[in-house]
Amino acid sequence: MNELLFVLQLLIFPGFLFLVIYAIFAEWLDRKLYARMQNRVGPPYWQPLADLIKLFSKEVIVPRSAGYYLYTLLPYFAFASVVTAFFFIPVWSPQALYSYQGDLVIVAYLLTIPTLVLSLSGWNSATAYSILGGIRCLTQLFAYEVPFFLALLTPALLLGTWNISEISQNLPSFLFAHPFYFIPVILAFIVGIIALQGKLERKPFDIPDAETELVAGPFTEYSGRLLAIFRLSLDMEMVVGASLLSAVFLGGAQSFLGIPGFIAYLIKTLIVIFILAYIKAAVARIRIDQMISFGWKILAPLSLLGMLLVVLFQKGGIL
């Protein structure tokens, strides 16, 4: 009976089916917020689902120059890595569906796979726009991945645990007991938000698939079901990224002010999605060299500063 319940949780709630539904809703919300910030109406609530149904019904065309098996399998690797990462993040309660020491590193690693897959997809498609988009994916990865990982390590270093559920449960009470630590945690959260925007390749970091330059970058040659899986994977990655930041920095599914854990999780992830949409609407696209410079000259030093403050406060007896 316990095994059956666990399987149902993996497949339905708070697992795979919930992630897919929430990802589709998150895409609609992101597009709606983006439109309203630009004084446009935006799509109806059913538009993202209609787009997916349309893509799944279309033919898959594999370019003659592409390696068939790699071309068709890569979208599923991106999809599987994002779904797997979601299982380690608390959604319904402060404890994740699957949790153990070190899962923070596993989730950070799993969220790197979609970018690597995009890069390989562009390279394997063997067309000019796709290859250039794939190269940009890989180049941009080195700019935001290190700051993102360092930002996640700040609360882990502070609490002495690499477990997402433990960080989610203990960080809020720890911060209110030791207010000095709000400074490094807020710094790390800001870096994490900006780095997540780059990881999701959203404005101003949508350099790999800049439509005015590269048509659709690594997606240029993809169509039908494979393109739908890629798009759904990116929507799910946005939800998983927002869930990860809310768990590590905002308490995740930890209830507060009498609000149940699941509702608290939804509120916090929607706040993160709103911030991502605001950045997307407020900032214009930058060049790839500007992205790399920004990542290494600003984001990385800020994330290191947060970790350094944690060490200094702990050594100074503020803990």
Q: Is the peptide bond before 14 cis (omega within 30 degrees of 0)?
A: yes
What pLDDT score was predicted for residue 139? 85
What pLDDT score was predicted for residue 319? 56
Give dist(CA 90, CA 97) in Å, integer: 7
64: tokens are 């003659």
What pLDDT score was predicted for residue 10? 82
| Nearest alpha-carbon partner for 196 in 290, 255, 280, 136 | 280
pTM reported for the whole predicted model: 0.93
What pLDDT score was predicted for residue 124? 84
Give dist(CA 270, CA 146) in Å, integer: 25
pLDDT tens per residue, range 274-290: 999 999 988 888 888 88
Give the other-Cβ count within 10 Å of 301's Cβ: 14
How confident is the model over 243-252, as a mean pLDDT? 93
Q: How far apart are the first and last CA of the chain?
A: 44
What pLDDT score was predicted for residue 278? 93
pLDDT tens per residue, range 5-64: 878 888 888 889 999 999 999 999 999 999 999 899 989 999 999 999 999 999 888 888
pLDDT tens per residue, range 86-136: 999 999 888 888 888 889 999 999 999 998 998 888 888 877 888 888 888
pLDDT tens per residue, range 166-200: 999 999 888 888 888 899 999 999 999 999 998 99
